């Protein structure tokens, strides 16, 4: 079983985000970056499937700057076997990411690709679906349970009406939700071992793909500050305040 896991480096949600001088992006000065949490669930599930099968390989695919190697090493410390970084300093949008991952998939030929349902920095929720489309393979999104049997995967999905279970032929793209599992805790010895695991660095040129952009960011701004709350004596006063604000 050869499993490919897509992993993205994103700003930690606890860090203080500041808009950059260009007004279109965030300043990375002093920002702590981590592995996308949804992708960590994907890594954990891949490791559990490999351990359950008793054999196999879990390869981590990532795209970004040199610093993204730190994110890959986190997954390697969890137990993944090797990593592949497509190095670029450009901002890459979802369709371009999908095309780049398709080039890596063509070279690696995994049994299936698993990734988080979305990244917490842009919440685009597009790359997995786009990868499946251009790869011309089935997709199963929002997985909360995953079972592999031969050349098929049974995926329980979280949908508006509840849960649905679908069968997809492999290879396929599977995106996962947070209720799938609980990512394991990484211990110091595992971090040390991860430093010796193979991590290959390639480029867009080597893959024969481009990070061409279709989207233009016009402006980035922080959310409006919350207004100070007000205390009311009773329900009647609350209703009066809401009427004045035009809320009822």
Domain boundaries defined on the chain: 2-222
pLDDT (tens digit, 9 = 90+) per residue, 196-210?
999 999 999 999 988
The number of beta carbons lying within 10 Å of the beta carbon of residue 108 is: 14
Residue 27's pLDDT is 87
- Residue 28 pLDDT: 85
pLDDT band at 245 (very low <50, low <70, confident <90, very high): confident
Sorting pLDDT into bands at 50, 70 and 90, what band is 159? Answer: confident
pLDDT at residue 229 in the model:
80
- Summarize pLDDT for 90-108 with one digit per residue, the tens: 888 899 999 999 999 999 9
- What mean pLDDT is predicted for residues 148-158? 94
Which CATH superfamily groups domain 2-222? HUPs (3.40.50.620)
Per-residue confidence (pLDDT) for residue 222, from 0 to 100: 84
CB-count burial class (<10 Å; 0-12, 13-18, 19+) for 197: middle
Starting at the edge strand that comes first in sequence, how are the strands of the sheet with 199-203 ordered?
162-169, 152-159, 139-149, 173-176, 112-116, 2-6, 57-64, 82-87, 199-203
3-state DSSP call for residue 22?
A: coil
Looking at per-residue confidence, does 61 or 227 come out higher?
61
pTM of the shown model? 0.86
Q: What local confidence, expressed as pLDDT, does residue 37 receive?
A: 95
Q: Look over the chain and give the mean of its residue pLDDT values, rounded to a whole number.
A: 92
Judged by average pLDDT, the poorest of 4-8, 18-22, 170-174, 202-206 is 18-22
Highest mean pLDDT among 14-18, 113-117, 120-124, 204-208: 113-117
Residues 6+ apart with CB under 8 A from 96: 209, 210, 211, 212, 213
């Amino acid at each position: 079983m050869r499993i490919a896991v897509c992993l993205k480096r994103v700003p930690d949600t606890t860090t203080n985000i500041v808009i950059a001088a260009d007004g279109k992006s965030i300043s990375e000065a002093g920002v702590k970056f981590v592995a996308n949490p949804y992708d960590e669930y994907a890594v954990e599930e891949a490791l559990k499937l490999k351990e359950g099968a008793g054999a196999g390989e879990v390869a981590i695919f990532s795209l970004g700057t040199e610093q993204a190697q730190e994110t890959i090493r986190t997954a390697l410390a969890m137990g993944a076997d090797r990593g592949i970084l497509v190095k670029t300093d450009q901002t890459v949008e979802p369709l371009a990411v999908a095309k780049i991952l398709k080039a890596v998939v063509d070279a690696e030929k995994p049994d299936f690709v698993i990734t988080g349902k979305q990244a917490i920095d842009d919440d685009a929720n597009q790359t997995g679906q786009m990868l499946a489309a251009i790869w011309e393979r089935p997709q199963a999104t929002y997985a909360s349970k995953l079972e592999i049997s031969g050349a098929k995967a049974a995926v329980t999905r979280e949908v508006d009406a509840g849960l649905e279970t679908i069968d997809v032929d492999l290879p396929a793209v599977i995106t996962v939700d947070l209720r799938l599992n609980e990512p394991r805790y990484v211990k110091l010895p595992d971090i040390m071992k991860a430093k010796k695991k193979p991590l290959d660095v390639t480029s867009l040129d080597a893959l024969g793909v481009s990070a061409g952009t279709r989207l233009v960011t016009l402006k980035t701004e922080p959310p409006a500050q919350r207004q100070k709350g007000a205390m009311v004596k009773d329900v009647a006063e609350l209703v009066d305040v809401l009427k004045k604000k035009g809320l009822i």
